[in-house]
Structure formats: structure tokens, C-alpha cells
Amino acid sequence: MKNTYNTLTLVLFALAVATPSFAAPSAESARPRTITVSAEGVSVVRPDLALVRLGAETRAPSVKDAFSENRDLMAAIRSALRDAGVAEKDETTINFSVQFEQPYQPDIEESEKQGYYRVTNGLAVAVRDMDTLGPVIDAAVEAGANQLWGVEFVLEDRAAAEEAARQAAVKSVIAKARILAEATGVTLGELESLIDIGIAFPGPLPSIQLKAMVRSADASSAVSPGETELRVGVQAVFRIR
């Protein structure tokens, strides 16, 4: 009987040693391998709208005279803009202010010092025909505009340009992923995720250029919208094998 127990013990021990261990796979090994790639798509476009900020500044010893002179100048500017093809709905009043200023006069008694009132009034003008931008500025300056605060070129109808740039970005991100996969010796798998990073569009023309336009004999030769780039970025995650 004792020999029988010993034999049974040896058999059970052998089975325990020979039985494979089925451990659960680690989270690290179960996680799919991926590659993350970013790319941009570019669409070259011509702006279809210009926002011009211009106006008039007047000075006079009395606020009434400064107001009166400014009102006459702004009326002449608005009339000139109408003649140049700008609709009333495309004008908005901006930068309206009245200030009293007194120059530094150290040798004059306080009661005898002279000052003046400065009245500033302006318009934000939307120019929808780029070919008329120069003539519109010319007309305003000739009518009395002595302030130009900026010209901003805008792509108002940007749907088609955005779509073209976005399609180019997706094609670019796929091509870049294939290049990286080939260079690292892996096989590119299915798309895991795709994120639209956003759109980049350039800002306004610097004001220093616009101040030079006031002194220019022909503003139409000084302003050109040219072409600009609308950029769309995407980020993609692909599985790799």
C-alpha cells in the first residue's frame, strides 16, 4: 500500500510540472501599435473682400467749429464713396472721439494758454470688388480723408478653398504615414483616428504701409490684395504591424 501511495504522489507531481501555465496577456502586449502623423494642406486663394478703415481728423479752438468741419469732411467722404461704388450698408462708423488738447506752453500764464478741440471720425468700409480698392481709397483721400488705420484682406466665401485644403491635408498625411512606415520597416494598417487641427489664415496688412498711401499721389498703385495661402492641418493615427 505504501508503494502505491508513493507511485501516485510521483504521478501527480509529474503532471503538475508538465501542465503549462496560461497567464493573462499584459495590457502592454494587448495594446495595438500605432503611428501618429500630422500634415497640412494648402489652398492658394485671392481675397474677395477688403475692409478699409479710414476717416477724418479736424482741430479748432471751439468744439463747435471742430465738429462742423469734421461733419462736412465726412459728408464729402461718404459722397465720394457712393460715387466709387460703395453701398451704404457696407459702411460702419468707427473711432469717433472728441478731445481737448493744450500744447506745452511753459512761458505763458495758465489763464492765457490756448488749446484746441480735436474731433476724429471714421468709417469701416467693405470693398467687395478688389479691382476698385485703389480707386475707392483715392476717392476718399481726395474728398478729405486724412486718416487711414488699416486694410484687411478677407476671404468671405472660403468654403471651396477650405475643402480643397482639407482634401490636400488628408492626402498628405496618408503619404507621410506610408513613408514613415516604409522607413521603419513596419506595415501600415487601418486608420485609427483622424483629427481636424484647424485653419490658418493671414492677418491684416501692416498699418505703416497704409500711412504711406495717404502721401501717395496714386493709392491705386499702392494697394494690391495679391494671393494668400489658406492652410488646414490634420492629425492621423494609423495601426502598424
Other C-beta atoms lying within 10 Å of the C-beta of residue 224 = 12
Query: By C-alpha distance, which of 172, 159, 176 is closest to 230?
Result: 159
In this predicted structure, the answer to whether residue 153 has a pLDDT above a threshold of 60 is yes
Residue 39's DSSP bridge partners are: 234
With cut-offs at 50, 70 and 90, classify the pLDDT of residue 30.
low
Q: In this structure, what is the dihedral angle of CA atoms 11, 12, 17, 22, given to the nearest 10 degrees?
A: 140
pLDDT of residue 128: 93
Question: CA dist 11 to 18, 39, 233, Å?
Answer: 11, 64, 67
Q: In this structure, what is the dihedral angle of CA atoms 94, 95, 96, 98, given to the nearest 10 degrees?
A: 180
d(CA 137, CA 28): 66
Q: Which helix (H) or strand (E) holds 232?
A: strand 228-240
- What does the mean pLDDT of the chain come to? 83
pLDDT of residue 192: 95
Dihedral class, residue 87 (left if φ above 0, else alpha if ψ from -120 to 50, else beta): beta
More confident call, 8 vs 136: 136
With cut-offs at 50, 70 and 90, classify the pLDDT of residue 7.
very low
In this predicted structure, the answer to whether residue 31 has a pLDDT above a threshold of 90 is no
Task: DSSP letter for 63, please.
Answer: H
Contacts of 2 (CB under 8 A, 6+ apart): none
Question: CA dist 235 to 13, 49, 205, Å?
Answer: 57, 31, 31
Q: Which domains are delineated in the chain?
A: 31-46+158-241 (3.30.110.170), 49-154 (3.30.70.2970)
Residue 219 in contact with residue 14, Cβ under 8 Å?
Answer: no
In this predicted structure, the answer to whether residue 230 has a pLDDT above a threshold of 70 is yes
187-217 confidence digits (pLDDT tens): 999 999 999 998 886 554 444 344 444 545 4
Residue 86 in contact with residue 127, Cβ under 8 Å?
Answer: yes
